[in-house]
Amino acid sequence: MITLSSVKTISQVVDMTGTDGRFRRNTQITNEREADFILRVEFEDGSVSLLHIEFQATNYSKMVYRELRYWVYLTEVHGIAPMQYVFYIGNEPLTMKDSLSSKTTAHRYNLIDMRDVDCAKFLYSDKPEEVIISILCNYQKKGVKIFIREILSRLRELVPEETLRGKYIRQVEVLSQLRDLQGEVSEEAEEMALVYDLERDIRFKQGRERGMLEGVEKGIKKGIERGLLEGNRKGLLEGIEGMLELKYGSAGLELMDMLRVVDSIDKLVEFKNLIKKADSPDELKEFLWDGR
C-alpha cells in the first residue's frame, strides 16, 4: 500500500563554509524546498520505506547535493532512509552526476533518463495518465508520426468522452514541448479530429446566446436606471439653482459649483429642504462641507 507522506516542504538553517574555503562562524543559509513526490511505502512483509521522486527538465550540476540534503532531512524527520529517484525529462544530453564520494561521505541516488525508457512501458497502459508520459520516452523504433498517432489512438480508446479526452491531449502537447514535438502532436490531433471543438457544441452555443441576451438585458436595465438617476439629479440641481437665486441672489448661486459634484440624490433632496429653513448661504455651505 502506498500513501502520501505528510511532509512535503522541508526547511533547515545550517552554518556554511565560505566560498573562499574559510569557515565563517556566523554565515547562515535558509534551505527551503518542496519535493515533487514523497511517498510512504508499506511492503507485504510489514517493512516501511519512503519513496522520494523528483522530475528534472534541465541539467542541474548540483543535483547530487540537493538529493543528499533531501536524504538527510527525510531520514531525520521520519527515521527512515528514503529511496530516491530523479527522472530527467529534458531534451539536452544528460550530464548530471548521480553520486558523490569523499573521504568521509558518499551518496548515490537513482537517475533515470526518460529517453532511455522504452515507450511501450507507458503507451500500452490502461490509464490515460500513464499513456501521456510515453511522449517523453524512447520512440525511435516507431518513427515520430506513427508514435504520436499511437498515443492519440490510445487516448481515444481509453477516454471516449470528448471534453476529458481534450484535457489529456492538451497535456500531451505540453509535455511534447520538452521533445520539440508540439507541432507534430497538434497537427496529428487536428487531422484525427480528436480536439474537442467547443464552438460546435450545441449546449455551448445555447449558453453563449442566452448569456449574450442576459447581458444585453442587464445593460439596458442599468442604462435606464442610470438615466433615471441622472435625470432626477439634473432636475434637482435645476430646481435648487432657482431656489438659491430667488432667496439669496448671486451669493446663493456661488454654491452651485459645490452642489454639482454631489452624487447622492438623497443629499441633494436634503439640501433643497434646508434652503427653506436656512438663514444664510453660509449655513448651507456648512452643510455641504460637513458631508464631505
pLDDT, tens digit (0-9, with 9 covering 90-100), for 122-167: 999 999 999 999 999 998 878 888 999 999 999 989 988 888 888 8
β-strands 2-4, 37-42 pairing: antiparallel
Q: Are residues 4 and 103 in the same domain?
A: yes
> In degrees rounded to 5, what are phi and psi of residue 54?
-125, 145
- Dihedral angle sign, alpha carbons of residues 214, 219, 221, 222: positive
Q: What is the pLDDT of residue 140?
A: 80
Q: Side chain identity at 179, as an amino acid letter?
A: R
Task: Provide the β-strand partners of residue 48.
Answer: 42
Find, among 155, 117, 150, the residue nearest to 136 by Cα: 117
Higher pLDDT, 116 or 143: 116
Q: 141 is in which domain, residue-wise?
A: 117-196
Q: Are residues 13 and 104 in the same domain?
A: yes
Q: Are residues 156 and 212 in the same domain?
A: no
Q: Which three cell numbers stand for residue 151?
A: 498515443
Of 61, 89, 115, at which residue does a domain stop? 115
Average pLDDT score, the chain = 79
Kindly report the length of the chain. Answer: 292
- Tens of pLDDT, residue by residue over 59-90, are 999 999 999 999 999 999 889 999 999 999 99
Q: Are residues 172 and 187 in the same domain?
A: yes
Q: Are residues 76 and 50 in the same domain?
A: yes
Q: Are residues 83 and 1 in the same domain?
A: yes
Q: How many domains does the chain divide into?
A: 3
Q: Are residues 174 and 224 in the same domain?
A: no
Q: Are residues 167 and 209 in the same domain?
A: no
